[in-house]
Amino acid sequence: MNPGASTAVDSLAHLSATEALAGFRALEFSPVEILEAQIERIEAHNGDRDTGINAFTETLFDTARQRAAVAADEYVRLARDGGPVPALLGLTVATKEKHGIAGLTLEQGLAAHRGRIAAADHPVVERLKLAGGIIHARTTSPEFSCATTTHSPMWGTTRNPWNLQASPGGSSGGSGAALAAGFATLATASDIAGSTRIPAGFTGTVGYKAPYGRIPGFSALAADWYRGDGPMGRTVADTALLASVMSGRHAVDHGSWGENGSNPLAGGSVEGLRIGLSLTLGDYPVAPEIRENTLAVARSLEAAGATVVPVDLPWTTERITETTFAHFGHILGPAMAVETAGTEGRLAAYTTRFMADAAAAAKRNTLVDSLGLDAALQAELAAAMTGIDALLCPTSAVSSLAADGDYLNGIDAAGRHLGHYWEAHMTSPFNVANRCPVLSVPSGLSADGVPTGVQVVGHPFAEAMAFRVAAAVESLVPSLGNPMLV
């Protein structure tokens, strides 16, 4: 291939969803061309479990090609005859492996789940298909999605396209890596302590944690009020589009709510808004370059007409960790123990450590104690956000994590040693306050070439405001471009 052809392929592969849909409708290019451009990049750069990016547990290229051809024909028909266009018609979507597809594996990286087959489509998958999305690959995660890096004995190490020595974050690391590398147009994720926003922050993409129940879940653990499934994209508008498809009441999840198909990106500037700024959410030891990138975002919002006000929170990283692990100790930890019984010796070290930490926290705190810890954080956040329209803070306190890191002995951050590496991320308080909509949006690059991110936190259920501010941040922060892969 000549250099010009390679550039054209890369350009098609990295198109946003909104750009791709416009091109499809105008018959400028087809879903087949986008898919083939992304397959070419996957084959060139994804590598395997020991090399390259390793973003996928499996690829589904044959069925994807068939569906892309059908979508291409449908756009020709629509150009001739008109009619409604399904929201995602012809767009590629990489789905997190835990979002089961009927007849395919549902292993979650666990030896105990080896060969387990999904009996039905996850509600998210069902809606992607109905909207015309093309699932061409399934993305990696750590075991049981319980780490903030993405590696496992089953699937190997997933690497960050911006710096192959760094992690794309976790647990939806494969999704973030796939988007950043131009392997997919959209991706699905999940979030119980930051698993959507952390990889978005580290890969220069956008991740959305919706209010609890807004996007339907599946199985008994959908009742865990910290958790939620969500969309990732390369832009705020793309993420809003995918959120509109995924969101809304579904019979499988009795806790799900709201309309399906309602796009949360309502538009509007930030002029006249009051935006709170918290650089540390209490005492997180935030790296100087992340502080500066966050302050630059705040200055840009002020220049755009917003009033930025400092917000103080009485939180410590140790208290937040105690709160979250007390919760995990009564729900996720025991569920993991059941799911992994008999295979304890084959678990990743971080999985064993997670279950031990959760069990220890549950011994220190009853479930009622845990609810009290939650309520205190929620009340403090509500008080801090009184009189502001949204809150701005970093996504992570550290600029990167090692791709194969376990961090069993904690992590050093801005001159301070944190006893638990989860304290390096500033996401989990908003799983405790899980009615708040939260997006992670790029804020710049760190010295090691890994993107940094900011979180935009809305009041409970105020999705439109969160997306409004996130879109403004995106428009004000210079584009990071695309990572150069070798």
CB neighbour burial string for 192-202, b if at least 16 within 10 angstroms, e if fewer: bbbbbbbbbbb
Instruction: Compute the distance between CA of residue 394 and CA of residue 374 in angstroms, rounded to an integer.
Output: 21
- The dihedrals phi and psi of 396, each to the nearest 5 degrees, come to -130, 155
What distance in Å separates the CA atoms of residue 228 and residue 431, rounded to the nearest whole number? 9
In this structure, are residues 441 and 435 in contact, taking their beta carbons and an 8 Å threshold? no
State the residue for tokens 């479930």.
367
- Contacts of residue 130, Cβ cutoff 8 Å, sequence gap at least 6: 86
Residue 19: count of CB within 10 angstroms of its CB: 17
Radius of gyration over every alpha carbon of the chain, rounded to an integer in angstroms: 21
Q: What is the mean pLDDT of each run of 10 residues along the chain (486 residues)?
A: 55 97 98 98 94 96 98 98 97 98 98 96 98 98 98 98 97 98 98 98 98 96 97 98 98 97 95 98 98 98 98 97 98 97 96 98 98 98 98 98 97 96 97 98 97 98 98 97 75
pTM listed for this prediction: 0.97
Structure tokens, 268: 């509007």
Contact 233, 179 (CB under 8 A): yes
Structure tokens at 373: 């810890």
Q: Judge whether 103 and 116 are in contact, CB under 8 Å.
A: no
What does residue 230 show for φ and ψ, rounded to 5 degrees?
-160, 175
Q: How many Cβ atoms from other residues are within 10 Å of residue 81's Cβ?
A: 7
Q: Please list the residues that pair with 425 across neighbouring strands.
A: 396
CA dihedral 151→155→161→165, nearest 10 degrees, is 50
DSSP state of 400: -
What pLDDT shows up at residue 2? 42
Q: Give residue-wise pLDDT tens across range 426-441.
A: 999 999 999 999 999 9
Q: How far is CA 448 from the centre of its chain?
A: 21
List the beta strands (DSSP E) in 41-112. 56-59, 92-96
Q: Please, which residues have CB within 8 angstroms of residue 41's CB and are 6 or more apart in sequence?
A: 9, 10, 13, 181, 182, 183
In 255-279, which positions are buried (b, 16+ CB within 10 angstroms) versus exposed (e)? ebbeebeebbbeeeebeebebbbbb
Please state whether the peptide bond connecting residue 247 to the residue before it is cis, i.e. omega within 30 degrees of 0.
Answer: no
Q: Which residues are paired to 113 by β-bridges?
A: none
CB 38 within 8 A of CB 92: yes
Sequence-distant (6+) residues with CB within 8 A of 26 are none
What the block records as the tokens of 11 is 């350009």
Check if the beta carbon of residue 125 is closer than 8 Å to that of residue 101.
yes
Q: Which helix (H) or strand (E) holds 473?
A: helix 463-476
Query: Is residue 34 helix, strand or coil?
Result: helix
